[in-house]
Amino acid sequence: MNWDGVGNEEGVLIWRVENVRDENGNAKFGINPWPIERKGEFYSGDSYIVLQTRKDENDLSGSFLYDIYFWIGSESSQDEYGVAAYKANELDVLLGDVPIQHREVQFHESNDFMKSLDNKIRYLDGGIESGFRKIDESTGKMSLPTRLFHVRRDSRVTRCVQVPAQCDSLNQNDAFILQSSDAVYTWFGESSSPFEKSKAGQVAHNIVLASNGNLALVEDVTDDNEDFWNAIGGKGDIKASANESEVNTLEQYNEETKMYILTDIESVLKVEECEVKIENLVSDDVCLLDTGKAVYVWIGSGSSKREQSQAMLLAQKHIQSMGCINKSVVRVKEGQESRVTGFKSALAY
């Protein structure tokens, strides 16, 4: 990836981890730019890097603040995750070790990450190897699969998740978008909110625009629209609300905050739990702060290169050992604490 010009102006840039295969069929991973008009549209089988660049309002010289997010789809491979983490570190170095790094997991995204996407996200099935559109040779048009999206507002965040394209997926409490081979439909449950309806309309409009004239828009489908009902296998009874299994809510983590210090003594890495207090942030060490919902990796300015290089790996092992692999992980360097609200509040700054 050629990073030239990255980070020189405000905004959001996105890259997807993609692989090509050589003549022997071996995968070679890299990253490619993701269209900005598809911001917030991610395949569950892929991993992505998101760079948010903002002006530092407290610096009259016009310097920038950077946040690097690497997003891991629920079906993304370990190889793709590894490439995303490696390239995020490469980008971090390019930007002078100034960025704050964030590890994000599908369905469990942090509020900061959602804000960088304008609080709009849409999950698509498949990934780089299954996400390509094919051309129908008989018509010359794109052959598009039938897809149904569930639009739901929860905790002031709207998510658009692909669900089975069948009547059983509908409910009267939310909004839905159906993409068929020739049209995009919006269907609103009787109790769906105006906000959900508005967002469903926006997403449907964007899908139509992205189809380059291959799809028509049909808004607010009624009971007599046979094309809509036939596309999802026929009309049946519509349940009042989504089943618990259909709602992707955040896991209920243990809220007790714990603190660990990582030290490198005579080439031996040691991890020790300590009392949760600011005084235990020592510049010569690396600290893990587990708030229950997120893990913060604090890098002391005088910590060793080995401590720094092992810090994110240690955080990964920590959340795996706790059985909470969906936690977000944020790397905070000494001096960056004021930019990370969750970290500061956990230590009562």
Superfamily for domain range 258-346: Severin (3.40.20.10)
* Bridge partner residues of 288 (DSSP): 260, 297
* CA distance linking residue 70 with residue 315, whole number of Å: 15
Taking alpha carbons only, the member of 119, 40, 123 closest to residue 74 is 123
Question: Do 134-246 and 258-346 share a fold?
Answer: yes
Over its length of 349 residues, how does the chain's per-residue pLDDT go in tens digits? Answer: 668 789 999 999 999 998 766 677 676 778 899 999 899 999 988 999 999 999 988 877 779 999 999 999 888 887 888 888 888 889 998 999 899 999 998 878 888 999 999 988 888 877 875 443 444 555 555 556 788 999 988 777 777 888 899 999 999 999 999 999 889 999 999 999 999 999 899 888 878 876 767 889 999 998 899 999 999 999 999 999 887 666 643 344 446 889 999 877 777 777 889 999 999 999 998 999 998 778 999 999 999 888 887 788 778 777 777 666 677 899 999 999 988 878 888 887 6
pLDDT for position 130: 45
Phi-psi region of 5 (alpha: psi -120 to 50; beta: other; left: phi over 0): left
Cα-based distances in Å from 294 to 104, 181, 256, 288, 328: 10, 41, 11, 10, 5
Residue 319 and residue 284 in contact, taking contact as beta carbons nearer than 8 Å: no
CATH class, domain 11-113, is alpha beta
pLDDT for position 133: 43
Pairing of strands 142-143, 157-163: unpaired
Domain 134-246 bears CATH identifier 3.30.450.20:
no
Helices (H) and strands (E) in the chain, counts: 6, 19
Alpha carbon dihedral 107, 252, 260, 349, in 10-degree steps, equals: 90
Three-state DSSP class for residue 84: helix
Task: List the domain boundaries for the chain.
Answer: 11-113, 134-246, 258-346
**Of how many residues is the chain composed?**
349
Specify the amino acid at residue 40. Answer: G
